[in-house]
Amino acid sequence: MSTIDFSALDALDQRDPLADKRQLFVIPEDTVYLDGNSLGLLTHATQQRVAEVTRQQWGQDAISSWNKHQWVHLPRLVGDKLAPIIGAATGQVICCDSISVNLFKALSAALHLQRQRGEQQRTKVISTRDNFPTDLYMVQGLEQLLGAQHCHLQMVEEADLLTAAEDLFDAETAILLVTEVNFRSGRRLPVAELIRKAHAAGVLVIVDLAHSAGAMPVRLDEWQADFAVGCTYKYLNGGPGAPAFVYVAQRHLGQFVQPLAGWFGHAQPFAFEPRYEPAPGIEIMLSGTPSVLAMAAVDSALDAFAGVDLAVVREKSLALAEAFLQQLAASGLATEFECISPAAAERGSQLSFAHPQAYAICQALIDAKVVADFRAPHYLRVGFTPLYTSFRDIGVAVEQLTHIMREQTYLQPQYQKRHAVT
Amino acid sequence: MSTIDFSALDALDQRDPLADKRQLFVIPEDTVYLDGNSLGLLTHATQQRVAEVTRQQWGQDAISSWNKHQWVHLPRLVGDKLAPIIGAATGQVICCDSISVNLFKALSAALHLQRQRGEQQRTKVISTRDNFPTDLYMVQGLEQLLGAQHCHLQMVEEADLLTAAEDLFDAETAILLVTEVNFRSGRRLPVAELIRKAHAAGVLVIVDLAHSAGAMPVRLDEWQADFAVGCTYKYLNGGPGAPAFVYVAQRHLGQFVQPLAGWFGHAQPFAFEPRYEPAPGIEIMLSGTPSVLAMAAVDSALDAFAGVDLAVVREKSLALAEAFLQQLAASGLATEFECISPAAAERGSQLSFAHPQAYAICQALIDAKVVADFRAPHYLRVGFTPLYTSFRDIGVAVEQLTHIMREQTYLQPQYQKRHAVT
């Protein structure tokens, strides 16, 4: 009946060097979860850690936990734990706030660096039109605040950035804001090459690693990135809306200020001085008091990456995607679903398919306990998270998708109705 | 032996209309906790809620929880639950980010409102020199970003603001940034009167309610406050570093933009449009993705305020403070500890005492399981949180303090050594 060759998939699972990692995670019951690119799953350890921080640290040790349980150092401890995952030496990464807020700091800091270099005319921020919208919005927010003469966004086509970056970087360009993996298409941009070209033109680069960190090798130091931001709630499994991270290259620390100058970013927060004096290190990127519950979850989640080679993660990610495409073809669905993601080498850890009924199909899949997601206007996204996605998962997912398409289940009215979050 | 009249204190506890609320909280074992003004205690309900959000919502329902468990609406739901506690009608309060980050939004928004009114020359932000430092730092951060010609901080003495506010508000003054209760001294400023005077001079007012919200009646709408920010981890018991809140008066909504224009503040976040269009309501103050674990804790913690009259909270708070002062006098310590907090009517929910050995005394108290806190340079703070502080607690606290002073326990070397967080 089924066209899926489960024995071949099981054989792949048996050879999988990451197979043991799956047991660290709470896998939703009877569910194939292909949405770790939107919200990573909970680990058993994190569930315990959150309970412990709540019950013992907050509940019993209360205020003393700021010292006793190192709450005050969590942003830096988590940052340093995250650093090797994104190819950064210690002291350059800190966990705090959201990507949006961290981008505002990084954008302001990079503009400040340009002015420090005497490059006042560099006021333009280049980013791609189909970047994740919050990245574009934050530049627009800064533009509105400072005036276009001090900061303005130029949206370019991704294709133009890929083929003719040199022509885009002119004497007015201050910053290239680039997301490594496109959230819709899954296209992976050649960040190292873009940084080289940007630097050659005097342009600073902020890299958004939302869909990269934890999914593939990232080499911020080697690439000579200037700033980076990223998300801990996707491939890093930090929890819904978990605090983000921000990276600043060592060579820039001490050379700039950032405007969200909250007390946690002060050189001596507990001296309670009325004048702001920025911390000399990466703590300059901190602003207000961080959420301990949220950050403790991230800290614990990162332990799942202990001993993990990101090159192996990448290899499995591509193998999972390849298996998905093969099973889709074997099920006769390859022509119906237009894969808008590029070939393996130029792709992140997801496949995106265009289909006019993508929304309803996604809802029907979720009801069949295969969790993928939808992105406007008509894309079905399938994410691969090598730490817990199995090859058998892929078979079940395609089997269910095949069933839904044959039976046209997605036409049922309950699948056509839109939710608040799509 | 003890000079404490515990039977009189027990009688006060028996007459306490809020006595039943204490059982909602996890009281640290054998401990008298007088630091709710720094970190409020955990409720049993919040402990369960955090476990449930972790185990079931994140662990099992995963991404679907954004709709299924209303994660996407939490910032507004929490804001509306908080609104009556601070005297605000619904639709004006939202829970997100930190006080620091929210202040940046409010400061920028208020400056924008002044420009919209044609008051470009109003560029000055007035605040008191001994305001909580992060409030001052955020103005300094904005000043550094915009240039002093567009925004500059004038620090004034609290006494001058109290006696001659009219003289301080000139034609260049854009904003008064005032914290209702001084974190060091516990002085409660006459916010309603200051707002009247500010408005008469064309000045907008941002009120920081960090040490007010949940501790006493606050009447933002009645006062005609323009903006307010506040903390949920003190008297509101939302958890360490819990998300803050921000209030915008209804009359201002739709009239301004704020620069931290993240996707959650967009009119249609899930349309993923490249151009930012602010939400028409209070959601304009949102920026990036909020932490669900952290915000669910706040949501649950606020339930402890169900049916609570803040006037009763205030009355008990003052009675607790009065009991503390009485017991201190009865124990012969009143002259040794200089109370720098003003009289009841002009005071928040804390007492602050100056003592050259305040730090060490505070450490010795904590070791004796009486948790107070220290603020630089030499203040011992004692906070009263009427939902869980009992009159008997006050007796135990003063008894231990008396013992420490008589035995000079605080001179022991371990109490003299400073921690990271003081």
Is residue B418 very low, low, confident or very high in pLDDT (cuts 50, 70, 90)? Answer: confident
Query: Before B377, cis peptide (omega within 30)?
Result: yes
- B6-42+309-416: CATH architecture: Alpha-Beta Complex (3.90)
Is the C-alpha dihedral spanning B66, B70, B75, B76 positive or negative?
A: positive
Q: Is A133 annotated as a binding residue?
A: yes
Q: Which of B234, B299, B353, B374 is catalytic?
A: B234
Whether residue A404 is predicted with pLDDT greater than 60 in this model: the reply is yes
Whether residue A83 is predicted with pLDDT greater than 90 in this model: the reply is yes
Whether residue A234 is predicted with pLDDT greater than 60 in this model: the reply is yes
Cβ <8 Å between A288 and B46: no
| Residue of A293, A300, A389 to mutate for B, most B C-beta atoms under 10 A | A293
Range(s) for CATH 3.90.1150.10 in chain A?
6-42+309-416
Q: Is B127 annotated as a binding residue?
A: no
Say how far apart CA B42 and CA A24 lie, in whole Å: 29
* Min Cα–Cα distance to chain B from A210, Å: 13
Question: Can B13 be counted among the known catalytic residues?
Answer: no
Say how far apart CA B269 and CA B267 lie, in whole Å: 6
Residues from chain B contacting residue A134 (CB–CB below 8 Å): 262-263, 288
Q: How many interface pairs between A and B have CB atoms less than 8 angstroms apart?
A: 305
Is residue B136 very low, low, confident or very high in pLDDT (cuts 50, 70, 90)? Answer: very high
* Min Cα–Cα distance to chain B from A26, Å: 6
Q: Is B132 annotated as a binding residue?
A: yes
Cβ <8 Å between A289 and B241: yes
Q: Quick one: pLDDT at residue B265? A: 98
Q: Which of B49, B76, B381, B393 is catalytic?
A: B381
Is residue A419 very low, low, confident or very high in pLDDT (cuts 50, 70, 90)? Answer: confident
CATH class of A70-305: alpha beta
Nearest-Cα residue of chain B relative to residue A144: B259
The DSSP secondary structure of B69-91, one letter per residue, reads T-GGGHHHHHHHHHGGGGT--TT
Picking from B140, B376, B420, the nearest residue to A272 by CB comes out as B376
* Min Cα–Cα distance to chain A from B139, Å: 8
Whether residue A317 is predicted with pLDDT greater than 90 in this model: the reply is yes
Q: Is B163 annotated as a binding residue?
A: no
Question: Can A132 be counted among the known catalytic residues?
Answer: yes
* Min Cα–Cα distance to chain A from B376, Å: 6
| Residue of B38, B105, B145, B295 to mutate for A, most A C-beta atoms under 10 A | B145
Is residue A3 very low, low, confident or very high in pLDDT (cuts 50, 70, 90)? Answer: confident
Cβ <8 Å between B287 and A100: yes
Is residue B1 very low, low, confident or very high in pLDDT (cuts 50, 70, 90)? Answer: low
Residues from chain A contacting residue B372 (CB–CB below 8 Å): none
Q: Which of B80, B97, B208, B226 is catalytic?
A: B208
Residues from chain A contacting residue B295 (CB–CB below 8 Å): 241
Indicate the average pLDDT of chain A.
96
Residues from chain A contacting residue B376 (CB–CB below 8 Å): 270-272
The residues that bridge with B350 in the sheet, in sequence order, are: B383
Contact B176/B207 with Cβ under 8 angstroms?
A: no
Indicate the average pLDDT of chain B.
96
How far CA A263 is from CA of A10, A287, B99, B162, in Å, comes to 53, 6, 10, 26
Say how far apart CA A386 and CA A164 lie, in whole Å: 34
Q: Is B233 annotated as a binding residue?
A: yes
Nearest-Cα residue of chain A relative to residue B242: A291
Helix or strand run (H / E) with residue A334: none
Picking from B51, B134, B141, the nearest residue to A51 by CB comes out as B51
Question: Can B381 be counted among the known catalytic residues?
Answer: yes
Say how far apart CA A80 and CA A245 lie, in whole Å: 11
Burial environment of residue A144 by CB neighbours within 10 A (0 to 12, 13 to 18, 19 or more): middle
Whether residue A361 is predicted with pLDDT greater than 60 in this model: the reply is yes
Picking from B99, B131, B144, the nearest residue to A288 by CB comes out as B99
Is residue A1 very low, low, confident or very high in pLDDT (cuts 50, 70, 90)? Answer: low
Picking from B140, B275, B292, the nearest residue to A240 by CB comes out as B292
Burial environment of residue A15 by CB neighbours within 10 A (0 to 12, 13 to 18, 19 or more): exposed
Say how far apart CA B237 and CA B245 lie, in whole Å: 13
* Coil vs helix vs strand at A128: strand
Say how far apart CA B359 and CA B342 lie, in whole Å: 22
pLDDT tens sequence across A21-30? 999 999 999 9
Query: Before A377, cis peptide (omega within 30)?
Result: yes
pLDDT tens sequence across A106-144? 999 999 999 999 999 999 999 999 999 999 999 999 999
Is the C-alpha dihedral spanning A36, A37, A42, A43 positive or negative?
A: positive
Whether residue B141 is predicted with pLDDT greater than 60 in this model: the reply is yes
Q: Quick one: pLDDT at residue A132? A: 97
Backbone phi and psi for residue A127, each to the nearest 5 degrees, phi listed first? -150, 165
* Coil vs helix vs strand at A70: coil
Nearest-Cα residue of chain B relative to residue A373: B63
Cβ <8 Å between A274 and B130: yes
The residues that bridge with A314 in the sheet, in sequence order, are: none
Q: Quick one: pLDDT at residue A422? A: 61
Q: Which of A25, A33, A104, A132 is catalytic?
A: A132
Cβ <8 Å between A259 and B72: no
The question of ipTM being above 0.95 is answered as yes
Interval B106-119 mean pLDDT: 98
Q: Is B134 annotated as a binding residue?
A: yes
Say how far apart CA A95 and CA B150 lie, in whole Å: 31
Q: Quick one: pLDDT at residue B277? A: 98
Q: Quick one: pLDDT at residue B3? A: 82
Q: Which of A169, A183, A227, A233 is catalytic?
A: A233
Q: Quick one: pLDDT at residue A376? A: 86
> Following CA atoms A144, A148, A150, A156 in sequence, which dihedral angle do they give, to the nearest 10 degrees?
100
E-strand ranges in A201-253 read 204-208, 227-230, 245-248
Say how far apart CA A247 and CA A245 lie, in whole Å: 7
pLDDT tens sequence across A92-111? 999 999 999 999 999 999 99
Cβ <8 Å between B262 and A140: no
* Min Cα–Cα distance to chain B from A143, Å: 8
Q: What percent of chain A has pLDDT over 70?
A: 99
pLDDT tens sequence across B185-199? 999 999 999 999 999
| Residue of A129, A153, A272 to mutate for B, most B C-beta atoms under 10 A | A272
E-strand ranges in B243-402 read 244-248, 338-339, 350-354, 370-371, 373-375, 379-383
Q: Quick one: pLDDT at residue A160? A: 97
Q: Is A226 annotated as a binding residue?
A: no
pLDDT tens sequence across B20-31? 999 999 999 999
Range(s) for CATH 3.40.640.10 in chain B?
70-305
Whether residue B407 is predicted with pLDDT greater than 70 in this model: the reply is yes
Kindly list the strands in the beta sheet with B379-383, ordered across the sheet, starting from the edge strand earlier in the chain. Answer: B338-339, B350-354, B379-383, B373-375
Whether residue B422 is predicted with pLDDT greater than 80 in this model: the reply is no
pLDDT tens sequence across A144-159? 999 999 999 999 999 9
* Coil vs helix vs strand at A380: strand
Q: Is A132 annotated as a binding residue?
A: yes
Cβ <8 Å between A137 and B262: yes
